[in-house]
Chain A
Amino acid sequence: MSEPASDKPQEPVVLLAQVTKFYRKGAQEVRALDGIDLRIEPPGMVAIVGPSGSGKSSLLHMIGAMDRPTGGEIVVANRRLAALGDADLTAFRRQTVGFVFQTFNLIPNLTALENVMLPMEFNGVDKRERGRRALVLLERVGLRARATHRPGELSGGEQQRVAIARALANDPPLVLADEPTGNLDSKTGQLIYELLEEIARERTVIVVTHAEPLAQRAKRVIHIQDGRLVQ
């Protein structure tokens, strides 16, 4: 007879063990991350908070395989990142992680629809299917009517919603958002919080934020200071 699901220890989606990241700034060595141990179980929203320069974004970049740590071990969605070569890391990013940036980072000469289709193109999804899926995602963020608009024709909030739709394009188990409301007014930010909260019901969303209201919506808040987690 099998054990009840609730008693089974849950597999973490993110597992960090003694992760360090040092940068060299001229002659000075900067310790962006200093012995981070972290375990995050799916699903739900996790907020990383801390003062500027505390290492929040560096931590997010390590989890998202955007950068390699100086030391330690990172396992995301059961993949040991240190064991992956550059090409495998690229494939990992496109299949496992969705990114939302503070400055939206949409490609300016592509329409909202084309921006959302982009990660699917990199993932080899055929054109008709990626068009269909992109429209569904734009519908989900309430921007289907703006599908043919370029970023310059959209407001900041709309651009961020397109960026969230883009992050979900390949249906990744993990969404990483770096200050997603940092460039938005509080009212627009509220809409983004709700959207991220809704997304976090079915997957893990890790948000780096200064915004207290957003952190309060998270199931877990991780504090970081001087590259170390603060309990």
Chain B
Amino acid sequence: MGAIARGVGNLLRSKPRTLVCVTLFGLVLSLFVLLAQAALAAREQVATLEARVRTLIELREAGAFGTGGFGGDKPVGEEAFTLQTLEKVRRIRSAKHLARVDEYVYKPLIDPSRKNAYAMIIGLRPGAALRAIGEVDYENAKIIAGRAPRPDDEHAFVAVVGRLFAEQRLGIDNPQATLLEERKLVLDGQDFRLVGIYSTGNDFGDNHVFIPIEAFRATFNPGDKLSKIFVTLDSVAHVEQAVQELKQIEEADVVTTPEAVSTARTTLAGLSLATALGAVLLFGVAATLVVFVMVLAVRERYAEIGTLKALGASNLEVVVQFIAESATLCALGGLGALALVVPLSWATSYALAMPLTPGAWTAASIVVAATLFAGLGCVYPVARALQLSPVEALRKA
């Protein structure tokens, strides 16, 4: 029986104690990994919010309201919110901080014979976000069949329609089972080839048609008119300055982040901090637990250390025995943590309202953390094993 086998076997001396230690360690380890994951997830969500919302500024025609930009429409030739406005946006003093500028032009499509009469045709640059007009806000449309408009569709007559539009106006009940390329729709006498179907999750948002802005202009002749301009800044730090400059454009109203987003950010940042602190605390608890168990193991076995040394065991053999014991304890704790992490992640996701899906990263974190704790657990035994002479160890027993 080698030193490693003896070290592993030492854990079986008191099975109830080992079981309690392993269970406790597994629980603390899994919670530590989950909270660390939650802290990172919260930080990621904050970053996403900052990147996607706080840095996003909407410009609509002065006096227009709602996501549809109603109330601001003027006859062709008299419109104020136009391609010239777009040029003004691109020339503001903070122009170098404009990460992206997307222009959209809308045309309502009202057909009282349909169950859902109101639809909107939206012209956009291929590659821009499919911002469907939702019930209360813009909805991010998700392609469920086919594809979104591509850069090479710039001058093509192609269309992406909403799920409801496809169902009610094109007779497509099963988007995934339909050969889209063979389907056409006619807008103002112009044939458009159907290339994709999207969904937002609600009927109002799923009743629009996205087409390339050049095809929109060629079909509907809106002149230089624009409905919306979305500006994305390169950083939150530049939003305030850019907003001030954009407000100088007379024909545009500047809509910035609603207060709710700011609150969400604060909440998420608080959650991130709390979970990070919780993770640090649990790290300390897990480390203390392992170190305590190993200190106890050494103090209980001074006589044994002395005996082993008296029988001719080298320091290395004594050290390897304790390392094996600590590593086995942490490995068993790690296995316990792997078993506990799935139900605990469901509970944590539910409690924190944050998607936490245990995966390879979680397993890897548990392995790394368990290894780290095993190393910490070895420090005291190794130090004592190297310091004590056989007679000192026997005398301490």
Which A residues are within 8 Å of any B CB, using their own CB?
61, 64, 66-68, 86-87, 90-91, 93-95, 99, 101, 103, 105, 107-110, 114, 117-119, 121-123, 166, 170
Contact = CB atoms under 8 A, between A and B. Distances in A.
10 contacts: A91-B312, A94-B312, A99-B307, A109-B13, A118-B311, A119-B311, A121-B1, A122-B311, A122-B312, A123-B312
B307 A66 contact: no
B391 interface: yes
Contacts of B394: 66, 101, 105
A84 B296 CA distance: 33
Interface of B: 1-2, 6, 9-10, 12-13, 303-304, 306-315, 317, 389-392, 394
B391 A67 contact: yes
Given A90-B312, A166-B311, A122 B13 contact: no
A135 to B, nearest CB: 15
- Residue among B9, B311, B389, B390 with the highest chain A CB neighbour number at 10 A: B311
Contacts of A94: 311-313
B313 A67 contact: no
Given A66-B390, A109-B12, A93 B1 contact: no
Contacts of A87: 314
Contact of A105 (B2, B307, B313, B391): B307
A160 B390 CA distance: 20
B310 A99 contact: yes
Contact of B312 (A86, A109, A119): A119
CB-based closest 4 A-B pairs: A94-B312, A105-B307, A67-B391, A122-B312
- Residue among B309, B315, B391 with the highest chain A CB neighbour number at 10 A: B391
Contacts of B311: 93-94, 99, 118-119, 122, 166
Nearest to A122: B312
Contacts of B312: 90-91, 93-95, 119, 122-123, 170
A90 B314 contact: yes
A66 B391 contact: yes
B307 A101 contact: yes
Contacts of B314: 87, 90, 122
A110 B310 contact: no
A64 B1 contact: no
Given A66-B310, A110-B1, 11 more contacts: A66-B389, A66-B394, A67-B392, A94-B311, A107-B6, A107-B308, A109-B12, A118-B311, A119-B311, A121-B1, A121-B2
A154 B392 CA distance: 28
A161 B71 CA distance: 104
Given A109-B9, A114-B1, A64 B307 contact: no
